[in-house]
Amino acid sequence: MFITERGCYGAKRITAELKDQPGHEPVNHKRVARIMRSLKLFGYTKKRKVTTTVSDQKKPVFPDLVGRKFTADKPNQVYVGDITYLPIADGSNMYLATVIDCYSRRLVGFSIADHMRTSLVQEALKMAKGQRGSLAGGIFHSDHGSVYTSNAFQETCKNLGIRQSMGSIGTSADNALAESFNAAMKREILQDSKTFENQLRCRRDVFRWCTRYNTTRRDSWCTYLAPAVFEERGPAILKSAS
C-alpha cells in the first residue's frame, strides 16, 4: 500500500485504507505508525517554497471575506485559488492555477501553462464554472497577484457572479489552504526530484495527480475520504456527526 501510493501516505491515511478493506482486523494509526517506523517507511515532507505572487500596488484591494476560515456549510460557496510554479529540467517553468472548494477541498478548476498571464487564472475559473454549473453568489479568495487584481479577471468574476476576496499583502497564512495544496502536489509528484523531465511530462503528471487527488487520495479534512467521495457522502457524514 505504501509503495502503491508512491510513499505519499503516512500512518493515518494508511489506517483509513486498511479500515475500508473488508474483513480487515481493527487497527489504529498509532500501531500503523510503529510498524512503519520499524520498516523505515516515511512519507515525504515539505520542501522549500518559491513565491510566484507579483502584486500590483495600483490596483484596488478587495476585502478579506474569508478571514483564514477556510470552511463552508456546503459546496459551491467559498473557493480559494493560487498560482504555483512547476520547474522543468531545461530551466523553464510551467505554472498551475487552481480553484479549490473550501467545503470539501475538491479541486474544481485548474489550468497549466508556460506563462502567468491573466488567461491562466481565467481558464481555471471557467473550468470550475463548467464543473459546478454556476458559481453565482460564491466567493473566490486569492492573494494580491497582479493577475487576480487585473481588470480582465475582475470582469470574469463579475460575469460569473463571484465576489472576490483577498488576504493581507505578503501574508501566506491568509491563503494557506491553496498553498498547502500546492506544496502537497509538488511534494508527492516530484518526491526526490527537483524538476519535471519536460513540459509534456509535467502536464501529464500534474493532470494525473489532480484526478487522483479528487477521486482517491484521502484527505484528513474529509475524514480521510477523497474530496469527491466526501461531497457524495456529505449529508450522511453531517447527520452521523450531529
Query: Residue 128: which pLDDT band, with cuts at 50, 70 and 90?
Result: very high
- Asked whether residue 64 is domain-assigned, the answer is no
At 181, which helix (H) or strand (E)? helix 176-190
- Asked whether residue 59 is domain-assigned, the answer is no
12-15: long-range contacts, CB 8 A cutoff, minimum separation 24? 12/220, 12/224, 13/218, 13/220, 13/224, 15/224
Measured CA to CA, the distance from residue 15 to residue 12 in angstroms comes to: 5
- Considering the domain architecture, whether residues 202 and 99 belong to the same structural domain is answered as yes
- Considering the domain architecture, whether residues 212 and 102 belong to the same structural domain is answered as yes
- Considering the domain architecture, whether residues 38 and 96 belong to the same structural domain is answered as no
- The pLDDT of 128-150, averaged and rounded, is 96
- The pLDDT of 46-63, averaged and rounded, is 59
What pTM was estimated for this model as a whole?
0.76
pLDDT over 70 at 26, yes or no: no
- Asked whether residue 63 is domain-assigned, the answer is no
The total of structural domains in the chain comes to 2
- Considering the domain architecture, whether residues 85 and 18 belong to the same structural domain is answered as no
pLDDT tens-digit series, residues 193-238: 999 999 999 999 999 999 999 999 999 999 999 999 999 997 655 4
pLDDT of residue 127: 98
- Considering the domain architecture, whether residues 7 and 108 belong to the same structural domain is answered as no
- Considering the domain architecture, whether residues 125 and 15 belong to the same structural domain is answered as no
Q: Assign residue 190 the CATH number of its domain.
A: 3.30.420.10
Angle (CA) 14-15-20 rounded to 5° is: 95
pLDDT over 50 at 144, yes or no: yes
Q: Which domain holds residue 9?
A: 3-45
Taking residue 36's Cβ as centre, other Cβ atoms within 10 Å add up to 18
Higher pLDDT, 9 or 201: 201
Please state, for a pLDDT cut of 70, what percent of the chain lies above it: 74
